Amino acid sequence: MILELRALLRCHRQLPLKDLASRLQIDPEVARAMLHRLMKKGLVVKLPQGTLCAGGCRLCPGESVEIYRWIGDNMDRPVSLP
């Protein structure tokens, strides 16, 4: 299941939690737990509250949307300073 989640995020670059859960037909809490595992590995980041969906959709209230971005194979990774 986590491989499917990874594939979705890699393909779409960023998706809201509810879309990921819906596409995988799982509870959002299960998807969130998998996302947190990927975050610990440095492959995914949670975007700040209020971030718009990739297409700029404004149908959902910004504070209620939880968006995750795949950073596993690009240069968008946060830089950690010594």
Task: Give the ranges where 1-60 is alpha helix by DSSP (H).
Answer: 2-12, 17-24, 28-40
pLDDT recorded at residue 39 = 96
pLDDT recorded at residue 81 = 39
Domains and CATH numbers, the chain: 2-70 (1.10.10.10)
Judged against a pLDDT cut of 70, whether residue 52 lies above it is answered with no
pLDDT recorded at residue 54 = 59
pLDDT recorded at residue 11 = 93
Contacts with 65 (C-beta within 8 Å, 6 or more apart), sequence order: 16, 17, 18, 49, 51, 53
pLDDT in tens, 11-35: 999 999 999 999 999 999 999 999 9
What is the number of other CB atoms lying within 10 angstroms of the CB of residue 18?
15
- Give me the percent of the chain exceeding a pLDDT of 70: 72
Distance from C-alpha of 61 to C-alpha of 72, rounded to nearest angstrom:
28
Average pLDDT, the chain: 82
